[in-house]
Amino acid sequence: MRELGDLVVDLSARGDRATAVYRALLDAVRGGRLEPGERLPPTRALAADLGVSRTTVATAYDRLAAEGFLQARVGAGTFVADAARPVAAPRRGTDLAPRAGWAHAPHPTSGAAGKPTYDFRVGIPDARLFPFDTWRRLVTAELRVGAHDLGTYADPAGHLPLRAAIVRQLALSRGVSAEPEEVLITHGTQHALDLITRVLVSPGDTVAVEEPGYPLARDVFASYGATVVPVPVDEEGLVVTELPPSARVVFTTPSHQFPTGPPLSLERRRALLDFAGRHRCAVIEDDYDSEFRYTERPLETLHSMDDAGRVLYLGSFSKSLVPGIRFGYLVAPEPLQDALRAALQLSVGYVEVPEQAALARFLDDGLFARHLRKARSAYGERRTLVLAAVHGPLAAHLELVPCQAGLHVTTRLRDQEVDDVEVVRRAAEHGLAVEALSSYTMTGSPRGVVMGYGAADPASITPGLRRLAVLLDDL
């Protein structure tokens, strides 16, 4: 490393020395250490100082001159060009700012942190239950030479055999009637919501959401400038009579309300569809976790009751398989198909055909049903342990919100003066990960504790929740 004034040139690495000199001079000009109009040393003098050939320095000078950073004047020498003046604004501290809707951080995902000792985070399935060896064989088979034409761009709506397999699965398990052409493959729930919002919502439009509800859905709507209005839920789900008449979109989780659990009653389902028809709004039906039910079959979907084409039905494989396999689906009315396909083309463009083809085989060969039976049995056992703790050592502090589906249990604090965020913070200090019910609200009420059991080690559930009971006793 040799130095001339402010010019530092690293000649220690093997390679083109002319390029090293060029880069050092370019950095000095861009950084303002060599100012416009400043005379550079003659090539012979700089070459002698750096211990390189005169040709090396001349090559660097010529390149910078060709790019407009230096200017050679006959009989006077080589100078920094006036056009090379550095930009006035510093590289840090820019005055750029995100538009409204992006000024806040989104609700953190449950998998963002490392695995705690007592893991009751919400929305995380047990990856150990997934048949990775089977999945690997399916994907490998679809990657073989000639299996798919990977040299062309596929339909942005998704691999048609997968869309057809999803149609068959939904008809069998949820009574949803659709054609493969009505199904669009997405990268999960957030992607589907982003597509819908991009197509349907303009800045200032009213979007009604459940309260408590799914925070990431609120974040998506707000990011597009929507006015997000919380609507209360009770033991029958969304309170339809509280919906704002100006709603352009209503987002709901009718199979089992997220995060509290109760399904939307049949009377309210009809009322919601009537509201959508009268006010000409769209209804987004998020049928999350519908695969994991432990007692009665769910009520029929809003989509199957909809005769007016106002319901957009979406689901995801993130929890029924594993989050790393980022596939979901959206069943949308025909008038929105072209716009949603265009939005898919803009947001994704290329379809992962081998993975989608593998998932189609996984569904059609009965492997998905076999996996669900195994997973449902395992999660059912964990759910029983959590409920035993809620009705046992936690009963003095927590009141169960009844729920017959999903991968978590929601409770309300009997003493609503207790800060559930503080409960979560103190629990984390003891290696115990639970979530605050208030974090799913826009108002901070009600307060409670939400406990997921998808990723929980069965042996840790009872001792972990006993530890939570002791913590609540101390509070």
Query: Is 409 domain-assigned?
Result: yes
Q: Clarify whether residues 403 and 331 are in a common domain.
A: no
Q: Clarify whether residues 252 and 334 are in a common domain.
A: yes
User: Average pLDDT over the chain, rounded to whole?
Assistant: 89
- Domain boundary (320, 342, 365) is at 365
For the chain, the C-alpha Rg in angstroms (whole number) is 30
Q: Clarify whether residues 168 and 240 are in a common domain.
A: yes
Average confidence (pLDDT) over 188-214 = 95
pLDDT of residue 7: 65
Q: What is the CATH number of the domain that holds 61?
A: 1.10.10.10
Query: Is 327 domain-assigned?
Result: yes
Within 73-131, residue ranges assigned H as helices are none
pLDDT of residue 245: 97
Domain extent at residue 77? 2-84
Domain count, the chain: 3
Average confidence (pLDDT) over 274-287 = 96
Alpha-carbon span 360 to 354, nearest angstrom? 10
Q: Inform me whether the pLDDT recorded for 8 exceeds 50.
A: yes
DSSP assignment string, 335-392: HHHHHHHHHHHHHT-S--HHHHHHHHHHHHTTHHHHHHHHHHHHHHHHHHHHHHHHHT
pLDDT of residue 145: 54
Q: Clarify whether residues 248 and 360 are in a common domain.
A: yes
- Domain boundary (365, 394, 411) is at 365
Q: Clarify whether residues 360 and 383 are in a common domain.
A: no
pLDDT of residue 175: 87
pLDDT of residue 300: 86
pLDDT digits (tens, 9 = 90+) for 82-131: 877 765 555 455 567 777 666 555 555 555 557 889 999 998 999 999 99
Helices (H) and strands (E) in the chain, counts: 14, 18
Beta strands in 287-326 (DSSP E): 311-316
Confidence band, pLDDT 50/70/90 cuts, at residue 168: very high
pLDDT of residue 13: 62
Q: Look at 14-18, 24-28, 165-169, 304-308 and tell me which has the smallest mean pLDDT.
A: 14-18
Q: Clarify whether residues 159 and 238 are in a common domain.
A: yes
Q: Inform me whether the pLDDT recorded for 162 exceeds 90.
A: yes
Task: Take residue 174 and report the two structure tokens written for it.
Answer: 């949820």
DSSP assignment string, 3-14: EETTEEE---SS
Three-class SS state of 232:
strand
Residue that wins the pLDDT comparison between 16 and 287: 287
Task: Give buried/exposed letters for 20-57 (b at 16+ CB in 10 A, else e).
Answer: bbbebbbebbeeeebebeeebbebeebbebbebeeebb
Q: Clarify whether residues 462 and 381 are in a common domain.
A: yes
Confidence band, pLDDT 50/70/90 cuts, at residue 1: very low
Alpha-carbon span 82 to 70, nearest angstrom? 9
- Domain boundary (348, 365, 382) is at 365
pLDDT of residue 271: 97
Q: Look at 94-98, 185-189, 215-219, 272-276 and tell me which has the smallest mean pLDDT.
A: 94-98
Q: Clarify whether residues 298 and 251 are in a common domain.
A: yes
pLDDT of residue 42: 92
Average confidence (pLDDT) over 448-467 = 95
Three-class SS state of 435:
strand
Other beta carbons within 10 angstroms of residue 406's beta carbon come to 29
Q: Inform me whether the pLDDT recorded for 464 exceeds 90.
A: yes
Q: Clarify whether residues 190 and 222 are in a common domain.
A: yes
Alpha-carbon span 312 to 178, nearest angstrom? 12
The answer to whether 360 and 216 are in contact (CB under 8 A) is no
Alpha-carbon span 181 to 337, nearest angstrom? 9
Q: Inform me whether the pLDDT recorded for 146 exceeds 60.
A: no
Q: Look at 25-34, 247-256, 425-434, 460-469 and tell me which has the smallest mean pLDDT.
A: 25-34
Residue that wins the pLDDT comparison between 358 and 7: 358
pLDDT digits (tens, 9 = 90+) for 431-443: 999 999 999 999 9
Q: Clarify whether residues 185 and 327 are in a common domain.
A: yes
Alpha-carbon span 394 to 399, nearest angstrom? 8
Strand 328-331, strand 311-316: pairing: antiparallel
Q: Clarify whether residues 177 and 298 are in a common domain.
A: yes
Q: Clarify whether residues 387 and 336 are in a common domain.
A: no
Alpha-carbon span 199 to 220, nearest angstrom? 13
Confidence band, pLDDT 50/70/90 cuts, at residue 2: very low
Q: Inform me whether the pLDDT recorded for 12 exceeds 90.
A: no
The values of phi and psi at residue 370, to 5°, are -65, -45
